[in-house]
């Protein structure tokens, strides 16, 4: 379950569900104790409404988009007669402003959007992977990249010290993304899926079996 908390200058707190994510708007005028009380109450109220499986992202104007589970943006989509897909990311609001060619169907639009947003955020994504590396196995990595992989979530080349992550992870939760990253990081130490490897994964990501089950929903 993903919960996004936004602190707003408003009298009352509120909440909604966007694409399987609980979005809370908590009043900044409350003291920390009352803020936490509102958070707990709103989550408890909305949690039963969430489906066990992640909902499909519509990716329409005004939707809330989760990017690799750890970045979240509101979509501002305007259709255009231009044949070129234009994207501008404003991380301060945060918004993704998109000029969408009318000729694109939804599936093609999503694939192009995944590719372009990944490229725009790739330096930040790579920095995040490096941070996880420092917090876990702390091994040398010579290259990290994101590619469209059909049959797997990622792979690690033990000899060249390179990690490739699938852009399919774009739609997953932060727990799934972190698990795949840590899985590949552990291959920098243990190249095969032997017991020693899984012991290492468990050390750095104890809930890895739950993440594996969750990933099945995104196949």
pLDDT at 54 over 70: no
Q: How far apart are CA 14 and CA 51, in angstroms?
A: 20
Q: How far apart are CA 180 and CA 81, in angstroms?
A: 39
Q: How far apart are CA 118 and CA 164, in angstroms?
A: 13
The answer to whether 165 touches 184, Cβ cutoff 8 Å, is: yes
CATH of domain 125-218: 3.30.2010.10
Using omega within 30 degrees of 0 as the cis cutoff, is the peptide bond preceding 98 cis?
no
Confidence of residue 8 (pLDDT cuts 50, 70, 90): confident
Mean pLDDT (the chain, rounded): 89
pLDDT at 107 over 60: yes
Confidence of residue 25 (pLDDT cuts 50, 70, 90): confident
pLDDT at 57 over 60: no
Q: What is the mean pLDDT of residues 30-58?
A: 75
pLDDT at 111 over 80: yes
Q: How far apart are CA 161 and CA 164, in angstroms?
A: 10
Q: What is the mean pLDDT of residues 31-58?
A: 75
Confidence of residue 24 (pLDDT cuts 50, 70, 90): confident
Integer angstrom CA distances of residue 200 from 177, 180, 187, 192, 196 = 17, 13, 9, 12, 6
pTM: 0.74
Q: Report pLDDT for 56.
A: 52
Q: What is the mean pLDDT of residues 167-181?
A: 95
């Amino acid at each position: 379950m993903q919960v996004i908390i936004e602190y707003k200058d408003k009298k009352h707190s509120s909440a909604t569900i966007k694409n399987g994510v609980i979005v809370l708007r908590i009043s900044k005028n409350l003291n920390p104790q009352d803020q936490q009380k509102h958070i707990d109450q709103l989550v408890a109220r909305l949690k039963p409404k969430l489906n066990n499986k992640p909902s499909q992202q519509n990716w329409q104007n005004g939707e809330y988009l989760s990017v690799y589970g750890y970045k979240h943006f509101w979509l501002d989509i305007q259709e255009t007669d231009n044949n070129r897909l234009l994207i501008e990311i404003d991380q301060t609001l945060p918004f993704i402003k998109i000029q969408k060619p009318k000729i694109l169907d939804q599936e093609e639009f999503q694939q192009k959007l995944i590719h372009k947003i990944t490229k725009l955020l790739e330096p930040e994504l790579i920095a995040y992977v490096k941070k996880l590396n420092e917090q876990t196995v702390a091994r040398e990595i010579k290259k990290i990249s994101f590619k469209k992989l059909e049959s797997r979530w990622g792979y690690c080349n033990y000899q060249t010290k390179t990690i490739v992550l699938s852009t399919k992870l774009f739609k997953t939760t932060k727990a799934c993304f972190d698990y795949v990253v840590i899985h590949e990081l552990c291959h920098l130490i243990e190249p095969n899926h032997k017991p020693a490897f899984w012991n290492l994964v468990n050390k750095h990501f104890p809930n890895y079996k739950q993440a594996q089950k969750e990933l099945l929903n995104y196949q």
